[in-house]
Homo-oligomer: A and B are copies of this chain.
Amino acid sequence: MRLSTYFLPTLKETPNDAQIVSHRLMLRSGMIAQECAGIYHWLPLGLRVLQKVEEIVRQSMNEAGFLEVLMPTLQPAELWEESGRYDAYGKEMLRITDRHDRRLLYGPTAEEAITDIVRRFMKSYKDLPRVLYQIQWKFRDEIRPRFGVMRGREFLMKDAYSFDLDAESARETYRRVMHTYMVTFKRLGLKAIPVRADTGPIGGDLSHEFHVFASTGESDIYYDKAFDALDLKGDENDLNQLMNLYAMADTMHDPKNCPVPQEQLNHTKGIEIGHIFYSGTKYSDSMKATVMGEMGKQIPLESGCYGIGVSRLVGALIEAHHDDYGIIWPESVAPFKIGLINLKKGDSLSDETCEKIYHTLLSQGKEVLYDDRDESIGVKFSTMDLIGIPTQIIVGPRGLKDGNVEIKNRRTGEKILCTLDNLYQRI
């Protein structure tokens, strides 16, 4: 992509109303623009990151054998009356009336909608177990939206729902989802931890939140140091450790009665990016979702529900990966892997060399952002650092005299000289 024909409205000034670093950096780097309170446009650079995050989440779900569906953003009120949550959900639910005075709502979550699908189409024990998921926009009418995409009103969520024949199988599914989540966060370049949580209005008796380690996080987490050694090969042992190791938010952590000795305990700041629940038969009871069992009896479905805040993850990634100059994207979610900087646009050797590098990298399938603008060197350097491109190739007349270009590592700041011949091997 050539920056001269791209749409990257970076801001020089830090916006006044942005209180946290991810919000400031997303606005400054032209990733998002506010439409109205808690509702954001995703501009080209931001959307590329959102799509990469979404695709990593999707691939991880698919590899685990979960099946993707897509439910509408709007849902009929009747479904929520069946489960008893229509009145209970309160003002966070955006309620809508259509031209025929039918009551709709913008889905804040989809337990009712998926349970309705399952009770209509899954009739036999042979149809189970299944985990269905979607990646879809949700709306929660937060009374005070803030922190950009971290607590917006319209947000992208991956929500999965499991259906099993009995509690034991449902708990096994819950463990499998937990493991899939840990794999997902690792692929995203995030260090995350499952923390015991209240089940709240979703119901059920087992629940974990997932928190990303970030020094700017809102929550305080105390956890067993053994977590730091986990590398998640995906075996039974990993799962058992994930379920059993101690990890608590400060609201639930009691130093006096903690089963883990002080010296075995670590502390971190965290950002919640996922929440899973074993909800049992809460929805299948109220909505009469049953299948015919092997012995000819109707069996209510055992279910769980599992969320990841996909748009929120973009903010969390920045909270976990930035410095004073801007964002530092992990490779897996970088909007472009390589930034190409032409220090002297108009200098024919610089222009030709950049063109050649640009086309060679594109032909290798690399994602390159080429800064071919007629701007100062300072602006070009600070733009590339601000938007966090992991690897930068810097091309100018002085280096080219000796056949050299520079390669800069955004994370370490390290620059190395490199001949043009060696460039493609080094990258």
Residue of B nearest to A156 (CB): B70
List the 5 shortest-distance A-B pairs measured between CB atoms, nearest first.
Answer: A9-B121, A42-B70, A36-B76, A91-B99, A39-B72
Residues on the B chain within 8 Å of A113, using CB: 35, 41
Pairwise interchain contact B98-A96, C-beta atoms closer than 8 A = no
Pairwise interchain contact A72-B33, C-beta atoms closer than 8 A = no
Partner of A99 from the list B5, B40, B143 (CB cut-off 8 Å) is B143
Residues on the B chain within 8 Å of A130, using CB: 5, 7
Pairwise interchain contact A74-B39, C-beta atoms closer than 8 A = yes
Residues on the B chain within 8 Å of A424, using CB: none
Known: A73-B154, A137-B137. A96 touches B99 (CB 8 A): no
- Complex Cα spacing A73 to B40, Å: 10
**Is A173 in contact with chain B by the CB < 8 A criterion?**
no
- Complex Cα spacing A9 to B117, Å: 10
**Is A75 in contact with chain B by the CB < 8 A criterion?**
yes
Segment of A43-51, A192-200, A383-391 engaged in the interface with chain B: A43-51
Interface 1/0s, chain A 14-40, versus B by CB < 8 A? 000000000000000010010111011
CB distance from A120 to the nearest CB of B (A): 7
Segment of A61-69, A213-221, A322-330, A354-362 engaged in the interface with chain B: A61-69
- Complex Cα spacing A132 to B113, Å: 33
Pairwise interchain contact A74-B7, C-beta atoms closer than 8 A = no
Interface 1/0s, chain A 116-134, versus B by CB < 8 A? 1100111000010010100
Pairwise interchain contact A44-B72, C-beta atoms closer than 8 A = no
For this complex, 10 residue pairs linking A to B, each with C-beta atoms less than 8 Å apart, are: A7-B69, A7-B121, A35-B71, A35-B113, A36-B104, A41-B113, A43-B69, A44-B67, A73-B137, A137-B137
Pairwise interchain contact B72-A6, C-beta atoms closer than 8 A = no
- Complex Cα spacing A154 to B37, Å: 24
Interface 1/0s, chain A 72-116, versus B by CB < 8 A? 111110000000000000011010101100101010000001001
Residue of B nearest to A35 (CB): B72
**Is A141 in contact with chain B by the CB < 8 A criterion?**
yes
The residues of A with any CB-CB pair to B shorter than 8 Å are 5-7, 9, 30, 33, 35-37, 39-44, 47, 50, 65, 67-76, 91-92, 94, 96, 98-99, 102, 104, 106, 113, 116-117, 120-122, 127, 130, 132, 137, 139, 141, 143, 154
Residues on the B chain within 8 Å of A120, using CB: 9, 33
Residues on the B chain within 8 Å of A41, using CB: 69-72, 113, 117
Residue of B nearest to A7 (CB): B67
Residues on the B chain within 8 Å of A73, using CB: 73, 137, 154
CB distance from A13 to the nearest CB of B (A): 14
- Complex Cα spacing A30 to B121, Å: 9
* A33, A35, A75, A117 interface centre (most CB from chain B within 10 Å): A35
- Complex Cα spacing A70 to B46, Å: 9
Residue of B nearest to A42 (CB): B70
* A68, A74, A76 interface centre (most CB from chain B within 10 Å): A74
Pairwise interchain contact A117-B65, C-beta atoms closer than 8 A = no
Residues on the B chain within 8 Å of A70, using CB: 41-42, 47, 50
Partner of A72 from the list B40, B75, B76, B121 (CB cut-off 8 Å) is B40
Residue of B nearest to A96 (CB): B96
Pairwise interchain contact A68-B39, C-beta atoms closer than 8 A = no
CB distance from A291 to the nearest CB of B (A): 13
